[in-house]
Amino acid sequence: MAIWHDVTLEDAIQDLVKDAPLIAAACDSDQLPPFKSEKNTEQVLEDHEIRLGRPIPTPVREVFLKLTGVSSELRWMRTLTSTILQTVADSDWVDIYNEFDVENSDSPWIRDDYYNFAQTTDGVGITYCASPPNLRPGSIIMFDSECDNELLDLYSKEDCYTPIVILADSLAEWLVRWKACGYEELAFPGIAKEGPPAVLRDFLEDHIRLNPTVVWAKEQLAELGANTA
């Protein structure tokens, strides 16, 4: 079983805090932090919630309060799938109708609440789902127009198709997987090929569990098995 299963949010946050000196020592000085060094306070969060007109989801709020600000020396790799936790000011609820130009959709995904708390280098948002249909409350997803997950489409019309990729059952599991995968989001075709084979295998098997129709992950898992046999 992957190390990120059945982990608590508090343990996930504390694990990242403890890892800070190791990350700093292993990275070059011209790289950027995987989460911002600004120190958040209750007042910072409350002010942002007033601007949003609604509360930040509780697990995301805990991450902003306890994780950001732990070290200004944390670094990340500047690659396509490198992922950084956003600042509180940059985080926001997703307006599905405006973001994806949804028109007259009866999909149950339209009626959920989504909160972007992280982002890959090329602008793909990592999103907390309050109560997604057929998934655990608090699941982590991303909207990706280039993936092949055909069962969980947000909406579909002639000129636009935006599927949903499930990344984790909870924010805690996503944080632990994020660290285990080198602060990279590997849920893109062709990306999960470099790194410890055991971590890659755990990621691919878990990604297939969450997204049963994703072909590329099955192909990469088979390739990994052939290379390590």
Q: What number is the average pLDDT over the span 106-127?
A: 79
Distance in angstroms (rounded) separating the CA atoms of residues 85 and 179 = 12
* DSSP strand pairing (140-143 vs 153-157): unpaired
Q: Which residue has the higher pLDDT, 124 or 141?
A: 141
Of 43, 15, 18, give the one whose Cα is nearest residue 173. Answer: 15
Strand partners, 35: 85
Distance in angstroms (rounded) separating the CA atoms of residues 138 and 181 = 21
Residues 6+ apart with CB under 8 A from 102: 96, 110, 154, 155
| pTM (whole model) above 0.85 | no
Structure tokens at 195: 């790194």
Distances (CA, A) of 28 to 8, 71, 77, 80: 31, 15, 9, 18
Q: Which residue has the higher pLDDT, 120 or 30?
A: 120
Q: Which residue has the higher pLDDT, 120 or 145?
A: 120
Answer yes or no: is pLDDT of 192 > 80. no
Residues 6+ apart with CB under 8 A from 80: 120, 121, 122, 188, 191
Q: What percent of the chain has pLDDT over 90?
A: 20
